[in-house]
Structure 1
């Protein structure tokens, strides 16, 4: 893989959890991640919660813009449910989505949060066969 020919996209979503909604957020995000694990096109999904600041950080890795479009079609009900418990504060796109996906991200977020696009310089992805992280609520 050369420095600029990768189609890989990494999304980082920073969400402010609404006061009193931490448990509800944990429940719906766990369901959403389980759905993505079973049906979604993502290569990786990880969500972390900073309880002290009431922030959640979600990372999603996609093979390409086509995978993002598949995710949007499948996940809409889960996204709406998650958004009942938080608001997006910052959304970062790492990599270069096609024009359609870039426009879709801009449209979905409109003016509600800081949005940045960061072109790739270099890197690689190493996914070990059989290596699998479990959702926090699984107790593993």
Structure 2
């Protein structure tokens, strides 16, 4: 797709892992991602850890704002478990969520971190059938 009429949303969440919580954080993320893979609406979830800086980066790709709302309803217990072991430092929204989702993101993060919204210009998504991470 080469127009900015796309509903696709990409979230990037940068989290500071609490000292002494790395293994618990890893376990909580693994559980959350396993749940999302089986039950969540995300098209893609990838999480990476920079142990040296005790930062984690999570990327989640959604078809649209409705998928984000579904994720929030299903995943709250998993999100809460992850948040016991980290703090959000930066949250980036790529794409244009509807007003309800934008307000939900702002409300959930309040003043705790840097929050940015970047509208889409152009792009495409190509998934290889059967590819597993």
- TM-score range normalised by the length of the shorter chain: over 0.9
1:23 counterpart residue number: 23
How much does 1:116 deviate? 0.0
Secondary structure, counterpart of 1:81 in structure 2: helix
Match of 2:72 in 1: 72
Size of the alignment, in residue pairs?
133
The structure 1 segments of at least 4 consecutive aligned residues displaced by more than 4 Å after TM superposition are none
Instruction: Give the equivalent residue in structure 1 for 2:99.
Output: 99
**1:121 aligned onto 2:121:** yes
SS of the residue corresponding to residue 127 of structure 2 reads coil
Using the TM superposition, give the Cα deviation of residue 2 of structure 1 relative to its aligned residue in structure 2, in angstroms: 3.6
- CA distance in structure 2 between the partners assigned to 1:70 and 1:54 by the alignment: 30
Deviation, 1:6, is 0.4
CA distance in 1, matches of 2:132, 2:9: 20
Q: Which residue of 1 aligns with 2:85?
A: 85
The SS at the match of 2:123 is coil
3-state SS in 2 of match to 1:49: strand
Report what 1:137 is aligned to: none
Q: How high is the TM-score relative to the length of structure 2?
A: 0.99
Rounded Cα–Cα distance in structure 2 between residues aligned with 1:30 and 1:116: 26
Deviation at 1:128, TM superposition (A): 1.0
Equivalent-residue separation in structure 2 for 1:131 and 1:71 (angstroms): 22
Structure 1, unpaired ranges of 5+:
134-140
Q: Work out the CA distance in 1 between the residues paired with 2:114 and 2:2.
A: 30
State the 1:4 CA deviation: 1.1
Cα RMSD, aligned residues only: 0.5
Gaps of 5+ in 2: none
8 Å Cα contact 2:2-2:121 kept in structure 1? no
Post-superposition offset of 1:70? 0.1
d(CA) in 2 for partners of 1:99 and 1:2? 23
